[in-house]
Amino acid sequence: MELADASCIHAILRTLSASDILTLLCVNRKIAEYVHSSPTIPYLPRTFLVYFLLQHTFPKPSIQMDFKNSLTPPKAASVTYRHNTTAPPIPPIMPLRSFIVSLNIPVHQKFMIDLTTFPVLKRLVLTFFAEPQTFQPLNLAILSIYLQSQKQIPFLNKLRNVVAKTFIHIHCPSALDVAEINNIFHGAVIITEKLSDFSLAAKVKCLHNSIPINRKVYEVCSVPASLAFLHGNFVTQRLIEKAYVYGRMVSMPISPLSFKQLFLINLNLPKRGNITLRNVETLVVGSCDNLAGFDGLDKCPIKSFTFCKNSAMTSIKVPTTLTYLDASEWKPLTIPPLPLLRALFLKKCNTFRHITVPPGVVSLTVEECQKLKRIANLAEISLTSIELVELPVLVVTNLPTSLRKLTLNNLSTLEISLNNLNLLEEFRFAVCSNLRSIECGTNLKKVEIDCCVELSEFVCPCTLNSLSITMCSSISSIEANARNVQLSNLGGLYKLHTTALDKMVLCGLNVTPSFEDKVYQLVSLRRVTLDKIPKAKKLILDAVSIENTHIDFGVECQTIRVKNMRSLKAIKLPNTLVDFTGMSCGFSQIEIPSELTRIHLKDLPITSLKLPPSCVKLKLQKCKKLQELELPTTLTFLIMKKVPRGLLKNAFLPNVPFEVLRNYCLSDD
């Protein structure tokens, strides 16, 4: 039949069944476009393809959609629709448009869309690839425009009829570019990652999105030093409150730098000298060549100071107003008196032998200070958090009783007791070579122990939220109550007792665990007996070397995942099972329970598969011997990869044409 135009398709859609409409979509792109553009396309029934393309089994107040899952509008939900540039240039169907509140689309000649057909649209995102047609009048909450180059700025004239709070993204605009944009969209927020002229700092929102400094990421206005300084003066510094200055200076700055937040990173001064500061509250200085120090720093109301890798700065006078000090490769002999300091972070400060921590500090971190032998008042101040990392000569004997979080990593000398730390909630010990035993307090919630080769046992009287012990070769006994347990590579362990479990992960053990119910994940166990599996709602077996060749699971299990067990030749699943995953195993037959709803099979030698009516989701991969497959009409999700393509040829799913299944479900990848 020859179809003359879209109106003909629209006329016959009212008489077609859902199956016929799906078949029509598979004819060619032109007809698919006609179907999508119909204002009266009926709601498709709740069959397999609807849910498969929608990918949202349950209704949600707000959902995200794109071309792949846009065949059927949702019910009682708002939609955020994004059209990827790789998708066919087909707009969303008419019934869906009444639900779309946010629309993200490309602007090019092949993608034509009438935005007045979106009655609830509030947010519009446009990415320009070509000049658009003139937009009809629109009232929106937010309009975001992404320009690929400065040559596209005149295209903005086509959007003068749009009334909205406007954000325009453009890379490295000049002063003329900013003036042209403001002339078209007065009051628009211009966003860029780089400035060509720092005098524009008051007119654009300029973000340098990722400046990682000592485990923190800062967002600040970024500008090269060559643009920031003109004849030694910082240009228009009064217009912004925080600035990130980098690169090579042409001349030394003359006037003071006055910012609430100032970041000097990878800054290269033309000669060794100081920079004058005024009114700075947050100062970050890192990897600055020839920067010898700061004038006026002691007069600034500075509260936060981060200092790292500044080779030319041998000493610096720190203001007494500091509440946060983060210093790396700092070279004083002692820490100055800082009465307001609350957080102290020291790293690679190799001039320290003995230090006294300011009395107001509640959080202390010391890393890689190779010559530090003693922290004089460690047990006398009200610290709540301590982290000591790679301090080879430090001796720790007493800790403050106020401690809530403790981390000790790679300490060669450790002589402490946790018995008196009644407030301690979390501790982590790693690479503590002489740690032989641990006496736990009664308030612990989280414990991590890694690579403590002399530790012989672990006994904890309280119930933990999390317990993790790995690479402790000498540990022989573990007795602990924990909701989440992870034990790995404990070759000497012969006694393991845990209760109150929600989840267990075991890897590389020589013992059979003694545990109670709920969730277990057993990974790479060297020897384990699985004849009598305890009551479990969820059980995961991965690369487990079982002593028997078959498994009979407990009657209460609801989720089972079995992976990488070629020696497993038979499996009997419980009737209560609702979710099953089998990958790279040896069983060739599987009897599916009547209550199963989700199944994922990969790399199995099975020859036949019959699914119950309760099954709604099926994923098959690399089941190359599969010859017989019976699918229920209740399926809402189907993916098949590297399976015999003839499986679906005989229309096992009624009302769904084979062309649809072939295009959407089968893959050779």
Are residues 640 and 620 in contact, defined by beta-carbon separation less than 8 angstroms?
A: yes
pLDDT at 49: 42
Chain centre distance of CA 467: 23
Please check the confidence at residue 250 and state whether its pLDDT lies above 90: no
Tokens 């820490």 sit on residue: 335
Three-state DSSP string of 350-387: CCCCEECCCCCCCEEEEECCCCCCEECCCCCCCCCEEE
Strand 289-295 relative to strand 261-278: parallel, antiparallel, unpaired? parallel
- Check: CB of residue 404 under 8 Å from CB of residue 423: yes
Contact predicate 290/313, CB 8 Å: no
Question: Could you tell me which residues are beta bridge partners of residue 468?
Answer: 448, 486
Lowest mean pLDDT segment, chosen from 19-28, 281-290, 351-360, 531-540: 531-540
Q: CB under 8 Å to 284, separation ≥6 — which residues?
A: 213, 218, 262, 263, 264, 265, 305, 306
Quote the pLDDT of residue 643: 81
DSSP state of 548: S
Q: What is the pLDDT of residue 88?
A: 74
pLDDT above 50: residue 592: yes
pLDDT at 182: 86
Q: Is the pLDDT of residue 8 over 70?
A: yes
With a cut of 50, say whether residue 54 has pLDDT above it: no
Residues 372, 394: contact at Cβ < 8 Å? yes
pLDDT of amino acid 60:
45
Q: Determine what percent of the chain is predicted with pLDDT higher than 90.
A: 17
Residue 197, pLDDT > 90, answer: no
More confident residue, 229 or 569: 569
pLDDT score at 383: 93
Q: What whole-number distance in Å separates Cα of residue 34 and Cα of residue 550?
A: 56
Confirm if 277 and 296 have CB atoms less than 8 A apart: yes
212's CB contacts (< 8 A; 6+ apart) are none
Distances (CA, A) of 625 to 118, 209, 516, 582: 50, 52, 39, 15
Position of tokens 């099975």? 606
Q: Which residue has the tokens 């080879």?
A: 392
Cα angle for residues 516, 521, 526 (degrees, 5° grid): 100
pLDDT for residue 21: 67
Start-to-end Cα distance in the chain: 35
pLDDT of residue 552 exceeding 70, the answer is: no
pLDDT band at residue 195 under the 50/70/90 scheme: low
Q: In terms of C-beta density within 10 A (0-12 exposed, 13-18 middle, 19 or more buried), how is residue 281 classed?
A: middle
Q: What tens digit of pLDDT does each residue of 462-472 get? A: 889 999 998 88
Average pLDDT value over all residues in the chain = 78
DSSP for 199-254 reads GGGGTSEE-EEEEEETTEEEEEEEEEHHHHEETTEETTGGG-SEEEEEEE-SS---
What is the pLDDT, as a whole number, of residue 201?
Answer: 60
pLDDT digits (tens, 9 = 90+) for 111-145: 778 888 899 999 999 999 888 888 889 999 999 99
Q: Which among 570, 556, 525 has a CA at the least distance from the CA of 543?
A: 525
Among 28-37, 165-174, 245-254, where is mean pLDDT lowest? 28-37
Structure confidence at residue 406 as a pLDDT band (50, 70, 90)? very high
CB 328 within 8 A of CB 309: yes
Query: 53 falls in which pLDDT band (50, 70, 90)?
Result: very low
pLDDT at 311 over 70: no
Provide the pLDDT for residue 19.
58
Residue 516 confidence class, pLDDT cut points 50, 70, 90: very low
Average pLDDT over residues 283-310: 86
Amino acid at 629: L
pLDDT at site 45 = 42
Could you give the CA distance from residue 585 to residue 561 in angstroms, rounded to a whole number? 11
> Taking residues 314-324, what's their average pLDDT?
81
Of 54 and 501, the structure prediction assigns the larger pLDDT to 501
Q: Residue 567's CB: how many other CB atoms inside 10 A?
A: 12
Find the mean pLDDT for residues 396-409.
Answer: 90
Q: Which residues face 85 on adjacent strands?
A: none
Mean pLDDT (whole number) for 627-651: 74
- Gap between the Cα atoms of 562 and 570, Å rounded: 12
Position 145 scores a pLDDT of: 93
